[in-house]
Amino acid sequence: MPGSTITPRRVVLNLVRVTPERAIAVQRLVEAGALFGFKGNAVRVAVTRLVSDGLLQSDERGSYRLGSAAQAKNRHVEQWRSGEARVRPWSGGWLAVVLPSSLERAARRSSLQALSQLGFCEGWPGLWVRPDNLSACIDGLSERLLSLGLSEQAELFGLERPSARLAAHFATELWPLSALQRGYERSIAALRESLDRLDSMPREQALVQSFLLGGEAIAVLAKDPLLPAELMDVSGRAELSELMLRYDRVGHRLWRSFATGRGSRGLELVAQPGDKHAS
């Protein structure tokens, strides 16, 4: 049976993201689910619910592509491809967001999820902070946060000079620095081992492994708080970003071939120079 983190919903969404320029027939989605042990009915139910949630849309009878409700999160996740270009040198300042205590539960939950996706942590009751080292300007970050679900009642602003005690608390107590490092190391080791073996695996096994390991590495990079080098060693993050770009080229060719129904035998897994990444 599939692992607890793999669901028909996740399989469907990830396969649809591989070919954003075309709709995928439901039968291909069912076949993808079968690789992970899911029955066709479970995949079809997932598709129906994703359409209801606005995360999928049907272009043709029985064919689906990513829906409008998934676009903002997908754009955010896909920024992992920019690697260290997502950050700039840190001058020591902070970004801060205040959430009104009067927010309704759903709005608060959505806001907290949005803040987490951009690496904000609650540094003081009611105040979420992160280092001001992201390459986007504050207006651009505000737009991204709103698109990810931050309440319009929230306030984003720069916090240039917190007290020394508060700054030390922010720098050392909010983010799981050791866990972040271990996450880089695990993903780097797994991707290296997989790259050495993918081209000799049976096609179905290669599809599953590239989905699982690539998805885990992308999650590490997409959820990373992008802290500056002054707060932690960022060499592992940079190494993982470069390695995942290589792995993505291989996995993308594999899954794209599957999604379009081509290359069922003798699929070449070695990426060619100049391959474009999935968007």
CATH number, span 8-66: 1.10.10
Per-residue pLDDT, 60: 64
What lies within 8 Å, CB to CB, of 172 at 6+ separation is none
| pLDDT average, residue stretch 173-197 | 95
Alpha helices in the chain, H assignment, sequence order: 8-18, 26-35, 40-52, 71-78, 105-117, 138-148, 164-173, 177-197, 203-223, 235-260
Question: Average pLDDT, whole number, for the chain?
Answer: 86
Per-residue pLDDT, 4: 44
SS3 224: coil
| pLDDT average, residue stretch 256-270 | 51
- 86-173 shares the fold of 8-66: no
Domain locations along the chain: 8-66, 86-173, 177-260
Bridge partners of residue 157, in order along the sequence: 96
pLDDT of 3 higher than 70:
no
pLDDT band at 74 (very low <50, low <70, confident <90, very high): confident
Per-residue pLDDT, 199: 82
Per-residue pLDDT, 15: 83
pLDDT of 265 higher than 80:
no
77 token code pair: 């996740």
| pLDDT average, residue stretch 188-196 | 94
pLDDT band at 187 (very low <50, low <70, confident <90, very high): very high
Per-residue pLDDT, 254: 82
pLDDT of 1 higher than 60:
no
Higher-confidence residue of 158 and 258: namely 158
DSSP-derived secondary structure for 233-270 = --HHHHHHHHHHHHHHHHHHHHHHHHHHT--SSS---S
**Candidate CATH numbers 3.40.50.720, 3.30.70.2650, 3.40.50.300, 3.40.50.2300; the one for domain 86-173:** 3.30.70.2650
| pLDDT average, residue stretch 186-195 | 95
pLDDT of 266 higher than 50:
no
Higher-confidence residue of 204 and 98: namely 98
| pLDDT average, residue stretch 149-178 | 93
